[in-house]
Amino acid sequence: MDAASIATLPRGLSALFLAILQRRFDPQGADWTIVRELLEMILATRAALPVELAAKAGGDRAQYATRRAVESISDLLNVHDDEVRLFHQTLVDFLRQPDTPFFSKGSFDERGNKVR
């Protein structure tokens, strides 16, 4: 990798998360809507979120859309025993930034207080 290639890399983790999500989703699109709802459920709990529960809460009886959403961001999640959680606090911080097109509501801070 040369210096020109390195210069094109995102600066900082927020820029990296933004670049990843921009490559995958239109923030106004239907796919992002499903993923955002999943992320909001994950952000709303400190415990790992069972995929089945997320599907039921989202009205996805067959769980197909929910499982597709999990798969589409699986590199940003810890998935274990059919439960999901965000892989790192920096992603939580990024999703809580209201100035990003990928802002997700339903966040709680480290003390369990709801972030608006």
Distance CA 109, CA 74 (A): 23
Query: Of 42 and 116, which is predicted with more confidence?
Result: 42
Task: Return the minimum-mean-pLDDT range out of 29-38, 83-92, 97-106.
Answer: 97-106
Q: Indicate whether 106 pLDDT > 70.
A: no
Number of structural domains (the chain) is 1
pLDDT tens column, 41-62: 999 988 999 999 999 999 999 9
User: Is residue 56 assigned to a domain?
Assistant: yes
Distance CA 41, CA 49 (A): 8
User: Is residue 90 assigned to a domain?
Assistant: yes
Identify the pLDDT of residue 67: 97
Q: Which residue has the tokens 């809507």?
A: 33
Identify the pLDDT of residue 13: 87
Q: Indicate whether 1 pLDDT > 60.
A: yes
Residues of the domain holding 39:
30-106
User: Is residue 83 assigned to a domain?
Assistant: yes
Determine what percent of the chain is predicted with pLDDT higher than 90: 62
How much is the pTM? 0.81
CATH no. for residue 37? Answer: 1.10.10
CA distance between the termini of the chain: 42
The upper half-sphere exposure of residue 16, i.e. CA atoms within 13 Å in the direction of its Cβ, equals: 9
pLDDT tens column, 66-98: 999 999 999 999 999 999 999 999 999 999 888
